[in-house]
Amino acid sequence: MDCCGLLTLQKEPVPLKSIEVELEVRDHVATVVSTLNYENKEDKPLEAVFVFPLPGDAAVCHFSAQIGQTQIVAEVKEKQKAREEYDDALSSGQQAFLLEESDESPDIFSLRVGSLPPAESASIRLEYVTELAVQADDGLRFCLPGVLNPRYQPQGSEGAGVQVTSVPASLVPYSLSFSARVSSPRPISKVESNCSLDPLQYLNTDQTQATVKLAAGHKFDRDVELLIYYKDAHQPTAVVEAGQASAEPGSLMGDPVVMVSLYPEFPQSVMSSTASCGEFVFLVDRSGSMDCATNNTEQQETRISSAKDTLLLLLKSLPMGCYFNIYSFGSSYEHIFPKSVEYGEKTMEEALKKVEQMKADLGGTEILEPLKHIYSQPCIPTQPRQLFVFTDGEVGNTKEVIDLVKKNSGSHRCFSFGIGEGASSALINGMAKEGGGHAQFITGTDRMQPKVMQSLRFALQPAVEDVSVTWDLPKGSTVTVLSPPITTIFQGKRSLIYAQLTGQSSEAAEGCVTVKYSLAGHPSENQLHFSLRPAEDTGLIVHRLAARTLICLLEMEAENNEEKEEVKKKVVQLSVQSGVSSSFTAFIAVNKDNNKEIQGPLLHRDIPMAGLMGFAATPCCLRANISSFSPDYEVDYGNPLEFEDTSCYRDSDVDFGNLPEFEDECYYEALPDEEFPPAKKPPRDPLLQLVSLQKASGCWLLDPALAAALGKTNEEVEKSKPEKASSEVWATILALIWLHGFKMDAKDEWELLAAKAVSWLSAQKAPSVTECVEAGNILLGCSVQKTALGL
């Protein structure tokens, strides 16, 4: 069934030949210019359709096409008008280009290249700006999505969802070149990637500017992820950008706009006392795609097994006296307890037994229903709700899910985790943003556990209350804040504010912004003084990001507003004025200089994307002629009996509509048993082996299982115990010494559960701690100091 090569799944030539991406990063803001080169090698005119992912919060701000010597720059217009103009141009034999955002998810775009004559080439230029998210280790993350997984469309939901032709990564028939230029007021300490890079080249001696390139031969089996690290990353900054000279004064584009980045620092006294209460609700994806490998290494750990190991660490790290529950979901959902229960030895053990049995066997990815159920449960007084969501993020109703989180943002904080390549950035970032939490992406060779434990530390930070932002500007100047109000602040997490500045002020004038809040009952404030002099040549980046922020706010308002049409008009007006795309507008370009009409019937060609399921996400045995985003497309599924003769379909996240017998199932050709050797279970990680033996209170028991985890015999461990020490104290100190002696590289993962063990030891007031530490070091061959253990 090798029908791909330089062909689509329908054995048709693919007109997209190459993609060139140039990235410019200034501090924490990125400008991305993508050039897509098309060539029609057929003997008839073509319409090429390319559906591709972009970061969910990207502000698409330029779209143009070059055909021969002619360049056409696209305009932003109301979506329906743009579609009609595109269709009219094609029907009258003109060339046209249409770029639009999906109605269901702001991180999916469709590009139509219409009437490309035989032997003609076209070059499409697409530009967007985006903020770079701060990771737990202070790196700034840029992601160029190279993979578009099938988006599962829930039963009964509106919209047809995004239909994409997918092929295995090795068969994507176009190339990618990628280069980045980074500049910052602070030195760049390193740039890392999940893909092979050429070495980083510094452009000046103080290392504040550098370039880096993707090594040749990129395979479309992963997103291209860059992690950029600056020295002293947590410096608050403010950038003032002058308005556009041609824009109307008093409008968003005509006035100066300021972008303020704040990194509030909390007093150490407050930070050292983490909360010992809370209701922790864990929501875990068990759809079919969670059975995929987490990365492309040979160990082949699956996403679901990684999620189970992470739940083990989370459950061992929770404070005594809090409440918790675990939900899992696919096409249906399950929960371990009917409602959240108090955390203790009995409930922890019961939960761990159920976690151990979890499989990726619940079909599609319907996240909305379990979320509704969680939010319908009454909150527990004095136990603030913290929701942790783990998903590979392939849903078709992204906006609906984010809207639900926003409606319930007053009752909880939401921490979200995108697992694997192709997870929807719009979904993961949107849930965390609207839920006042933190988003993390686990890709490449990342381990899930340290990232999740960082978010648990955030969740255990005391909630910041009564946040207020005040501005002090020179007389005659006023400020209009464009960002939503800040409701949550975490230690080390950046808060961004965009504001429009109106009125005249002298070049030397200064402004000041003050953030006040209450933390664990203590009033606190952070101040930033900044110059009102506009920065040199920022290319309207700040204005466009501000416009995108305002557009997102208005789009959310339109979802829940009786005056939807009025709000929609505002969005269209702002989108057209700023040149930034929205869900209600599209970019349209028509080549009106083309004197000769394009003759002959127009052939439709879908450009395939990489799919990560090991096989094509649209099965080779299904015949589909789908026009993306067309509300009335038809799909011909051929004869369902063809499934009997094929082994090409493996992903149970694809919804086949009216084929009830086939929905949410995996199909294999009947092959002899010896062709499916049983998978070898990888040996248990020694760290997780030790962690699994810890009790909810924080202590370990002295038994053969502990001795084995420490690499000793039970007899050796028993014999070395100081005479006066109790078994539990001796066992717990041994476990702590082993963690500090052999697993310091994974300290992020066990730090919280070790702190719980230290608290338990302190409460025992044990007389022989010093002797236990000395004897434990001798037994395990370590030299860990008592103070290093926190005793």
Task: Tell me the pLDDT tens digit for each residue of 265-313.
Answer: 777 776 665 567 889 999 999 988 888 877 655 556 788 988 898 999 9
Residue 727: is its pLDDT beyond 90? yes
Q: Mind spelling out the 3-state secondary structure of 437-467?
A: CCEEEECCCCCHHHHHHHHHHHHHCCCEEEE
For residue 139, give the CATH number of its domain.
2.60.40
User: How far is 459 from 318, CA to CA, in rounded Å?
Assistant: 11
Q: How many CB atoms lie within 10 A of CB 676?
A: 9
Residue 381: is its pLDDT beyond 70? yes
Query: Quick one: 321 and 408 in the same domain?
Result: yes
Instruction: Judge whether 657 lies within some domain.
Output: no
Instruction: Judge whether 309 lies within some domain.
Output: yes
> For residue 306, what pLDDT is reported?
87
Average pLDDT over every residue of 726-738: 95
Query: Quick one: 570 and 425 in the same domain?
Result: no
Query: Quick one: 199 and 325 in the same domain?
Result: no
Task: Give me the percent of the chain exceeding a pLDDT of 70.
Answer: 80
> For residue 599, what pLDDT is reported?
62
Name the pLDDT band for 466 (thresholds 50, 70, 90): confident
> For residue 50, what pLDDT is reported?
81
**Torsion (CA) 734, 738, 741, 746 in degrees, nearest 10:** -140
Query: Quick one: 292 and 259 in the same domain?
Result: no
User: How far is 51 from 102, CA to CA, in rounded Å?
Assistant: 9
Instruction: Judge whether 628 lies within some domain.
Output: no
Query: Quick one: 33 and 99 in the same domain?
Result: yes
Most confident residue range from 134-143, 168-177, 548-557, 579-588: 579-588
For residue 426, give the CATH number of its domain.
3.40.50.410
DSSP at 619 = -
Degrees (nearest 5) of the Cα angle 305, 308, 311? 155
Instruction: Judge whether 603 lies within some domain.
Output: no
Instruction: Judge whether 23 lies within some domain.
Output: yes
Instruction: Judge whether 258 lies within some domain.
Output: yes
Q: In total, how many domains does the chain have?
A: 4
Query: Quick one: 450 and 437 in the same domain?
Result: yes
Query: Quick one: 227 and 258 in the same domain?
Result: no
Stronger pLDDT, 708 or 409, i.e. the higher one = 708
- Domain encompassing residue 21: 16-233+580-591
* Domain end residue (candidates: 548, 576, 604): 576
* Domain end residue (candidates: 460, 491, 520): 460
Average pLDDT over every residue of 147-174: 55
Is there a contact between 244 and 540 (Cβ–Cβ < 8 Å)? yes
* Residue corresponding to tokens 């280009």: 97
Instruction: Judge whether 412 lies within some domain.
Output: yes
Residue 536: is its pLDDT beyond 50? yes
Residue type, 554: L
Is there a contact between 140 and 494 (Cβ–Cβ < 8 Å)? no
* Domain end residue (candidates: 542, 564, 591): 591
Helix, strand, coil in percent for the chain, rounding step 5:
25, 30, 45
Query: Quick one: 259 and 345 in the same domain?
Result: no
Query: Quick one: 159 and 226 in the same domain?
Result: yes
Number of H helices, E strands in the chain: 16, 34
Query: Quick one: 480 and 404 in the same domain?
Result: no
Query: Quick one: 446 and 567 in the same domain?
Result: no
Instruction: Judge whether 154 lies within some domain.
Output: yes
Secondary structure E strands in 457-615: 464-472, 478-481, 495-502, 510-519, 522-531, 585-591, 603-607, 609-611
Query: Quick one: 38 and 125 in the same domain?
Result: yes
